[in-house]
Amino acid sequence: MASTTLKKIRAEALTLPDDQRAELAHDLIASLDLPADPDAIDAWDAEISRRVAEIDAGTAKLIDRAELRRRMQQRIGHG
């Protein structure tokens, strides 16, 4: 059973406008995540920059949506 405090917070939260409920939901879910790894953030920034540079240089091999879908279905065993 939910505590009285939880019931009260839930009731109040459900009266908020959609955008505020979405913000609250985001904050609550984010609070459950593990602490952010600063090295991972830097590594992803570097990887994204590298991939964008490849696209800009014309050296990246791009695929269209249909090919992506085909590959993903093949990986999950539906193709």
How far apart, in whole angstroms, are the C-alpha atoms of residue 75 and residue 79?
8
Domain ranges of the chain: 1-33, 38-75
* 51: CB partners within 8 A, 6+ apart: 60
> How buried is residue 20: exposed, middle or buried, by Cβ count under 10 Å (0-12/13-18/19+)?
exposed
pLDDT class of 2 with cuts at 50, 70, 90: confident
The predicted model gives 15-21 an average pLDDT of: 96
More confident residue, 71 or 41: 71
**Cα separation, 73 vs 65, whole angstroms:** 12
pTM: 0.47
